[in-house]
């Protein structure tokens, strides 16, 4: 038995982009174009009338925004998969869309295959973020490394930078170029680091630094 195609509504205030999406959907056998909307209010009305599986929603549209339209529609139709398809990739837009109930967030630069995969994912109830958006979310959720206690608190800021580069396998001349220091300054700092950490040699520094997560 053949699966029913995924019924899709397009909500975007740019006619040319809307037309391109419509053609892309019509060319794919597993996806069916249902209707389109020019703004958030139309998107709400169309989705109420057509009950699609997925709506491709731009964020910045005249009148009611895509985020507010998403909030209204998800409250009324919990099974509706909202896929944000937008130029906006700032943290505020991404998290506002996700809080409103969007299941997916893909940038408009995405290719047809990526958009189709995203439509299929959100139709199946999955959450999907485009690669660029996923990186932003991961970076946002990761604790700021600068707020963590440094494993070697006795070192100065410059000594920590040098130790991190040592752990990464950089030589003294490499470190001098990276930090815009003279090689003599680097050598002096390395000696100080060895003394402060009571390490026998550079090899021991590298081992201890890497064990602490540096490099």
Mean pLDDT calculated for residue range 39-57: 96
pLDDT at 1: 45
How far is residue 94's CA from residue 118's CA, in Å, rounded to a whole number? Answer: 16
How far is residue 41's CA from residue 73's CA, in Å, rounded to a whole number? Answer: 11
Mean pLDDT calculated for residue range 25-51: 94
Do residues 57 and 70 lie in contact, with contact meaning Cβ atoms separated by under 8 Å? yes
The separation between CA 54 and the C-alpha centre of its own chain, rounded to angstroms, equals 21
Confidence of residue 101 (pLDDT cuts 50, 70, 90): very high
Confidence of residue 11 (pLDDT cuts 50, 70, 90): very high
pLDDT at 131: 75
Q: Summarize pLDDT for 140-185 with one digit per residue, the tens.
A: 666 554 555 678 888 888 898 899 889 988 899 988 888 888 899 9
What's the mean per-residue pLDDT of the chain? 87
pLDDT at 37: 95
The CATH fold assigned to 6-141 is Rossmann fold (3.40.50)
How far is residue 74's CA from residue 198's CA, in Å, rounded to a whole number? Answer: 60
pLDDT at 142: 61
How far is residue 81's CA from residue 107's CA, in Å, rounded to a whole number? Answer: 17
Pair of tokens at residue 22? 């419509």
Give which of 1, 11, 129 is closest to 67, Cα–Cα: 11
How far is residue 214's CA from residue 205's CA, in Å, rounded to a whole number? Answer: 11
Mean pLDDT calculated for residue range 57-66: 90
Do residues 136 and 91 lie in contact, with contact meaning Cβ atoms separated by under 8 Å? yes
pLDDT over 70, % of the chain? 92
Adjacent-strand bridge partners of 104: 83, 128
Q: Summarize pLDDT for 113-141 with one digit per residue, the tens.
A: 989 999 999 999 988 887 777 776 666 66
How far is residue 42's CA from residue 27's CA, in Å, rounded to a whole number? Answer: 25
Give which of 6, 4, 20, 135 is closest to 85, Cα–Cα: 20
Confidence of residue 10 (pLDDT cuts 50, 70, 90): very high
**H or E element at residue 41:** helix 40-50
For domain 149-211, give its CATH number from 3.30.70.980, 3.30.930.10, 1.10.10.10, 3.30.30.60: 1.10.10.10
Domain pair 6-141 / 149-211, same fold? no
Give the residue extent of every domain in the chain: 6-141, 149-211
pLDDT over 90, % of the chain? 50
Please report, for residues 43, 64, 131, the alpha-carbon distance to residue 52 in angstroms, rounded to integers and kept in the order given: 11, 20, 26
Q: Which of 32-36, 92-96, 123-127 has the largest mean confidence? A: 32-36
How far is residue 42's CA from residue 38's CA, in Å, rounded to a whole number? Answer: 6
């Amino acid at each position: 038995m053949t699966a029913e195609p995924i019924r899709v509504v397009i909500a975007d205030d740019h006619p040319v982009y809307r037309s391109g999406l419509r053609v892309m959907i019509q060319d794919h056998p597993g996806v069916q174009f249902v209707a389109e909307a020019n703004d958030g209010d139309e998107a709400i009305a169309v989705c109420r009338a057509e009950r699609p599986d997925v709506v491709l929603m731009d964020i910045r549209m005249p009148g009611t925004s895509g985020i507010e339209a998403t909030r209204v529609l998800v409250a009324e139709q919990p099974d509706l998969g909202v896929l944000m398809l937008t130029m906006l990739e700032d943290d505020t837009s991404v998290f506002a869309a996700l809080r409103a109930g969007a299941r997916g967030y893909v940038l408009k630069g995405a290719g047809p295959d990526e958009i189709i995969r995203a439509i299929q994912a959100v139709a199946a109830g999955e959450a999907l973020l485009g690669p660029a958006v996923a990186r932003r979310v991961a970076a946002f959720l990761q604790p700021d490394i600068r707020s963590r206690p440094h494993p070697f608190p006795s070192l100065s800021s410059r000594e920590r930078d040098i130790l991190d580069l040592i752990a990464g396998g950089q030589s003294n001349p490499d470190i001098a170029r990276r930090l815009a220091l003279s090689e003599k300054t680097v050598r002096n700092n390395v000696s100080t680091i060895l003394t402060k950490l009571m390490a026998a040699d550079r090899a021991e520094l590298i081992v201890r630094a890497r064990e602490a997560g540096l490099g």
